[in-house]
Structure 1
Amino acid sequence: MKRWLPRPAAANAALGVLVVGGLALRLVAIISWWPVGTTLADSWPYAVYAGTNPLNDPQHPGGYSTLLAIIGFVTRSVAVPVLLQHLLGLLAALLLFWAVRRLIGSPWPALVPAAAVLLNSDEIFLEHTIMAEGPFVVALAGALYASVRAVDQPSPLWKWPAASAILAVAAALLRTAGLFFIPVMALSLWCSAPQPWRARLRVPALVVAVSGVLLLAYAAGSLASNGRFEVSPATGWHLYSRTALIANCHVFTPPKGTAGLCDPRPAPQRPGSDWYLYDPGSPALRLFGPLGNHDSTLEAFALAVILHEPGVYLKSTFHEVEGYFVPSLHPYIYGGGCAIDCQVDWIYAIKHDPAIVAKTERGMEQFYNRFTVHVSRSGIDFLHSYENPFRFGATLLTLTSLLTLLGLFIGPRRARVGVLLFGVGGLAMLVFPTFGVYYLGRYQVPIAGPMAASAAICLWSLWHLERGRRAARVDDPGHP
């Protein structure tokens, strides 16, 4: 019996359906919440620093504000970056599709990561705000695609290997979590060719070298701009906010000038990390002023806590990580982390705190032309009802993580390299940052596509193994 469509054509048709679905969801978002979502308080600092100096932002790397500033040379309409981010979301899905299809030679598993981006309501929500996640997703997808091309075409080095490094650095300058992807990408490229280990070093060495040069150049620019040689801003403050929850100043002597950072309250009664970063009652704010001041001093205090209480610190870090996989084990405390829907929920277009919305809009209008937000209740209700059934939440994160672990040990070399690149790379960007920042469900949204790709590759490997087993039974009827 002939198929209605040849396999490649059928897969392309399925991709077309997914793209149309993703485009339709984005159009609903645009029509229902015009011109931009204003419920995330981080939006206005991005806009403010786009209008002044992106490198001066003490909370975020300068990549996203720089992108906004570049767009701002053309127009100060806030709708333009939002529309651009929605288009970039579609592009990210296609890049992931092309990357997985090229890696394993089949378009069907490649549909899974494409769907994870195209139909992901949380991804669309973040694209619809002035937040770095939208451009970060496409930069990461570009780095993944270029890495796969580098597996097939390692020479010339200046082409795909260099492109993968440049795109990975671009992602890291949008969100510093991307820094943890770079070593995984280099390791994946080293593992990709069945050659002696020395011969395999050329490509990953180039990736590390190019990434290092670009990051050093950025850090030097930061030093010239604000006196801080850094890629990730205010690392001392953020590490302090993580360790202030557990610091027991009775078991060590705080570094000189930092004794006032000790919180006298018992650890179970202390608030979350955000309180130590932003609340006027924070010891750091009272002693040293706004976020970013005396960063090295706060870093010294935080490192002293870790040195003298390593077990407590590791236990605290594990608690932050487990929140992504079992949110019920991470109950909300004032100023602490929370699950995805505490920040990313379409119903907030109608029900969010008016004071936060007003502050966000006023802050954004320091850079953008004045705008009025229009909300369609019917469209928002539809998106709100759609988001939970199709959310990349704790269940799917756990499932894709388990498949990633399995996929590292089964299947052809290319498939295992793909699982390392997509899956371990995605998890690295989620897990390792918790050593310095707290759990926040929003942070798992950008890795939905890579994790879905890893899981799909693992399932393809299982199918590949089963098909080989069945073929062996046909060729050898006596085979059990």
Structure 2
Amino acid sequence: MAHRALVIAMLPAVGLRMLAVLGFPPSILFYGDSFAFLREDLTPGTTRPSGYSLLLALLRPAHSLTLVTVLQHLLMLGLAVAVYALLRRRGLPGWGAALLVTPLLYDEFLILLEHMIMADAVFIVLVTVAMLLIVRRVTPATAAVGGVLLGLAGITRTVGLPLLILTAAYLLIRRYGWRPLVALLVAGAIPLGAYATWMKVEKGKFALTEADGNFLWSRTMSFADCSVIKPPERLAVLCPDMPVAQRPYPPHWLWESFSPLLKVPGTSNRNQLAGEFARQAILAQPGEYLGAVATDLTQLLRWERTAVDEKTPYKLPTAERPLSGSVRGVAESYEAGPAATRVVEPFAGWLRAYQRFGYVPFPLLMLALVGALAGALLRRRWDALLPGVAALALVVSPPFLAAYDVRYVIPAIPLICLTVGLTLGARSSSPREQAETAREPLNVG
């Protein structure tokens, strides 16, 4: 069997996902993002784009959260097969390509996100498939499809927006011609423009969210000193009133009752003022800003994802958590019945035990990414640079724009695996060779 190694690798991976489906039906709900995605009144999100909500709306008639999670599990398994197929095409042996996709198949956090009602799994698939299309063969058609996928990724999670620009820069630098570049940008602009227009109609603002300023402001709460910033009176209300050493992590400043952000009336006005304050704080204290970012990035050197006694929403539950009255109706309306996550033993216990060791530590992932990027430059594997730089952008940008979160690193895993494989594999054809091949008549004899 030509693909025996992949089949052997896939079988236990399917088993792990069956444990998730059997052990935690119908899904794992993330407070409170999941309920915002599940709402029946479909409107553009305030703090996050609603691309994932559109997918959930398409699946709503089935009234099955299990259908959603099973679909997400299947999408990730299919993604592993697609990455494997491209790496085989680039000359890697079956066992080598299968080995490189094992993080996609076995990482406990990927399995967790696939089983959550969250946008992350769909975002990962959209981004990685777009990269696969572009690095496999650049034509106006593949560039257009890749652009649409990246545009959809941008309305699923805004961190995907820079990836469209990175891909356009790749096509420009490698001189693939104006047709693929235009196809990529026009196709990518279609979902982004349609969503922003929807936002304009619904909320009067041509944008993807109304919270980019809020998140950047929360980032500055790690260091902001208003005696240094000297903000104008209209922004002074956003000054923190506690010493730097006592301040909680940035995300808490978005939601907790102590946050001065909540004193500003009006969603749009709040976002605008928060953005202005954040920009002034960064310009007034650039060293402190970079220091806060660097401190966050040191989390990538942590070997364990989470400590045994650490409180985190990213651990598989040990007992059913009843839904509060404020969100129960949203989830049960979608499910057309009880929607709280049930914990079914022994399946749940087996998967919880696996979660303690079933992952590649971040230091090894970062070492693989840096090594692959360096190797790509030395071996002139230019196509490996696109997913590699995209992975780097996904990892590094959140601490600059909001804060580090272990969940924000996970979308880089498939891209890192792809980068390593392309660096080790055979050289791709040049833009000129691809153009000449495209002009050759198809030989069917």
Give the corresponding residue for 2:10. 19
Query: Over the residues paired in the alignment, what is the CA RMSD in angstroms?
Result: 2.9
Give the corresponding residue for 1:476. none
**2:42 corresponds to which of 47, 53, 57:** 53
Shift in Å, 1:128: 0.8
**1:260 corresponds to which of 217, 230, 237:** 237
Q: Do 1:29 and 1:380's aligned partners in 2 also have CA atoms closer than 8 Å?
A: yes
Give the corresponding residue for 1:405. 373
Q: 1:293 & 1:369 partners in 2: Cα distance?
A: 37
Give the corresponding residue for 2:119. 132
Residue 213 and residue 78 in structure 1: after superposition, are their counterparts in 2 closer, same or farther (change >3 A)?
A: closer
**2:143 corresponds to which of 147, 161, 173:** 161
* 1:250 aligned onto 2:238: no
Instruction: Give the match's secondary structure for 2:123.
Output: helix
Residue 87 and residue 292 in structure 1: after superposition, are their counterparts in 2 closer, same or farther (change >3 A)?
A: farther
Give the corresponding residue for 1:377. 345
TM-score of the superposed pair, with normalisation by structure 2:
0.87
Residue 54 and residue 177 in structure 1: after superposition, are their counterparts in 2 closer, same or farther (change >3 A)?
A: same
Shift in Å, 1:286: 2.3
Q: Give the letter for the 1:326 counterpart.
A: R
Instruction: Give the match's secondary structure for 1:288.
Output: coil
Give the corresponding residue for 2:68. 81
Q: Do 1:404 and 1:424's aligned partners in 2 also have CA atoms closer than 8 Å?
A: no
Residue 293 and residue 100 in structure 1: after superposition, are their counterparts in 2 closer, same or farther (change >3 A)?
A: farther
Q: Do 1:90 and 1:118's aligned partners in 2 also have CA atoms closer than 8 Å?
A: yes
Give the corresponding residue for 1:345. 315
Q: Give the letter for the 2:395 counterpart.
A: L
Q: 1:358 & 1:322 partners in 2: Cα distance?
A: 39
Q: Do 1:403 and 1:454's aligned partners in 2 also have CA atoms closer than 8 Å?
A: no
Instruction: Give the match's secondary structure for 2:352.
Output: helix
* 1:423 aligned onto 2:388: yes
Deviations 1:405-428 (A, max 9, x none): 3223222x4x3322x122221111
* 1:452 aligned onto 2:417: yes
Q: Hey, which bits of structure 1, 4+ residues long, moved more than 6 A?
A: 355-359
Residue 27 and residue 96 in structure 1: after superposition, are their counterparts in 2 closer, same or farther (change >3 A)?
A: same
Stretches of structure 1 lacking an aligned partner (at least 5 in a row): 333-338, 463-480
Give the corresponding residue for 2:195. 218
* 1:322 aligned onto 2:289: no
Instruction: Give the match's secondary structure for 2:224.
Output: coil
Q: 2:137 & 2:236 partners in 1: Cα distance?
A: 51
Pairing 1:287-366 to 2, within 5 Å after superposition:
287-288=264-265, 294-326=270-302, 342-346=312-316, 349-350=317-318, 354=321, 361=328, 363-366=330-333
* 1:281 aligned onto 2:269: no
Q: Do 1:122 and 1:345's aligned partners in 2 also have CA atoms closer than 8 Å?
A: no
Stretches of structure 2 lacking an aligned partner (at least 5 in a row): 428-445
Q: 1:416 & 1:111 partners in 2: Cα distance?
A: 23
Q: 2:255 & 2:228 partners in 1: Cα distance?
A: 27
**1:231 corresponds to which of 208, 213, 237:** 208
**1:437 corresponds to which of 370, 395, 402:** 402
* 1:148 aligned onto 2:114: no
Shift in Å, 1:356: 7.1
Q: Give the letter for the 1:370 counterpart.
A: G
Q: 1:232 & 1:39 partners in 2: Cα distance?
A: 20
Shift in Å, 1:397: 2.1
Q: 1:176 & 1:205 partners in 2: Cα distance?
A: 22
Deviations 1:125-168 (A, max 9, x none): 111110111211221222122212333xx2xx1x1110011111
Pairing 1:22-41 to 2, within 5 Å after superposition:
22-41=13-32
* Worse-superposed segment, 205-214 or 18-27: 205-214
Q: Do 1:255 and 1:304's aligned partners in 2 also have CA atoms closer than 8 Å?
A: no
Residue 252 and residue 122 in structure 1: after superposition, are their counterparts in 2 closer, same or farther (change >3 A)?
A: closer
Give the corresponding residue for 1:469. none
Q: Give the letter for the 1:169 counterpart.
A: G
Residue 107 and residue 233 in structure 1: after superposition, are their counterparts in 2 closer, same or farther (change >3 A)?
A: farther
Deviations 1:23-57 (A, max 9, x none): 11111111111111135432111112xx11241x2
Give the corresponding residue for 2:435. none
TM-score of the superposed pair, with normalisation by structure 1:
0.81
